[in-house]
Structure formats: C-alpha cells, structure tokens
Amino acid sequence: MASGTLYIVSTPIGNLEDMTFRAVRVLKEADLIAAEDTRRSSKLFDHYGINNRVTSFHSHNIRARIPALIAELEKGKDVALVSDSGTPGISDPGSVLVKECVDKGMDVKAVPGPTAAIAALVVSGKPTHKFLFEGFLSNKKGKRRRQIEALKEEERTVIVYESPHRIIKFLEDFRDICGERELAVARELTKKFEEVVRGTATELTEHFGRKQPRGEFIVVF
C-alpha cells in the first residue's frame, strides 16, 4: 500500500486571520494532526472548526513520537504537522520528521503560509534580495558574541530570532562588536502590540530598555 502524505502546514504567527483556505482544509481532512503545543493549537482549531485527532510533537518527545507517526504514514494515513506558530521546521521541531520521511521515500508536501522571519524581513527596510536566516543565537554569552563577530562582515541581510529577556543583551553585544549600525527590531508582528523600530543599537536599547521588553522579537540588520 502506498504510504500517506506528511503535510507541513504553516499557521498564523499571531493573527488568526492569516490562515490559508488550504491549511484549514488539509487540517480537517488529514487522518492525524501532530501539533507542537496541543493547547495552543486548539485555539486555532476551535476558531476554524477543526475537530480532528491531535497528537503532541514537541522538542522533548520528537524521538519517541517519530516511529508512531511513520507507522501512521506507512498505513497510508495522511499526517498534518503544525508548530506553535508559523512554519514547522523553522526554528522549531519538524525537520527531523521530514528527514525521516524523505529517507524512507515518503511523500512530503508543504502547505505554505506565514513565517515570522520573512514577515520581519519584508518590513525591515533592509535589502531583501539576499538574506541569511540565523534563527536563535546561542544563549551563552561567549558563544553569542562569537556568532555576532562572525556576522560582522556579512553582506547579506541577517535575520535573528530573539527572546524578550535577551533582546537588550543582544543589542548591547551588537553595539560592542558592530558599532552603531542601523538595525530593525520587529516585535509581536501581526498582533495587538505589533511594532517595528529602526535605529542604532544604542537607540534601540534605549527604546526597549524603558520598560521590561515583552513578546516575540526578531532582529534584522
């Protein structure tokens, strides 16, 4: 029997309206949904009337879950993979499962949609014709500084994911290493407190240092 298809389904990065018609249909029609955070996804599923079978698939159980998902696919079932937000596999679990399926010659299809990195890039004002997606830098100070050092001469636009408690540290390290170059920081894209602030690392440190930074951050430089 032919194996089923693994669908990599992109979901909104904040605003529930950023869901494609196809994503809704695929999530309704799949035999099983594998979700990074079943509770968080249930908000989206409720909104779109998706009442499908859901299993969890997150960074702590990937290895244990893969055989069960592969077994479903081998039985000819279609599995839809969703992450907390955006595109599965982009700085969240997903690529390991895709690799397993590809190695087994199984069918993998993308259901494209939002990804925070591209949303931040296109509003940053930085060149978009060539870019480098760095994901999250290390949370270890020494390593993070070496990573920034390595990006200092990068000619392509660089996109970095950051957490609210590390954004100030990132900006301070960036200023020490790269000087007063202009960056764009995108926060809470598509959500209520969305903002994109552009300026030097010093200006941005002042801006975000006024009160405890909150939400999800992306730096583009």
Residue nearer to ligand SAM on the CB measure, 47 or 104: 47
Q: CB of 2 within 8 A of CB of 77?
A: no
**Nearest Cα residue to 70 out of 39, 90, 99:** 99
CB 71 → ligand SAM: shortest distance, Å?
26
DSSP, collapsed to helix, strand or coil, labels residue 143 as: helix
Contacts of 9 (CB under 8 A, 6+ apart): 23, 26, 27, 80, 81, 82, 88, 111, 113
Query: Is there binding between residue 100 and ligand SAM (CB under 6 A)?
Result: no
113 touching ligand SAM, by CB under 6 A: no
Q: Give, as one character, the DSSP assignment of residue 161.
A: E
Binding track, positions 11-40, relative to ligand SAM; x by CB under 6 A: --xx--------------------------
Candidates 20, 55, 95, 190; binder of ligand SAM (CB under 6 A) is 190
- Cβ closest to ligand SAM, residue 147 vs residue 190: 190
Produce one character per residue of 7-25: b if its CB has 16 or more CB atoms within 10 Å, e if not: bbbbbbbbeeebbbeebbe
Binding positions for ligand SAM, 73-92, rule CB under 6 A = 83, 85-87, 90-92
Nearer to ligand SAM, 45 or 217 (CB): 217
Binding site for ligand SAM (CB under 6 A): 13-14, 83, 85-87, 90-92, 115-117, 161-163, 186-191, 216-218
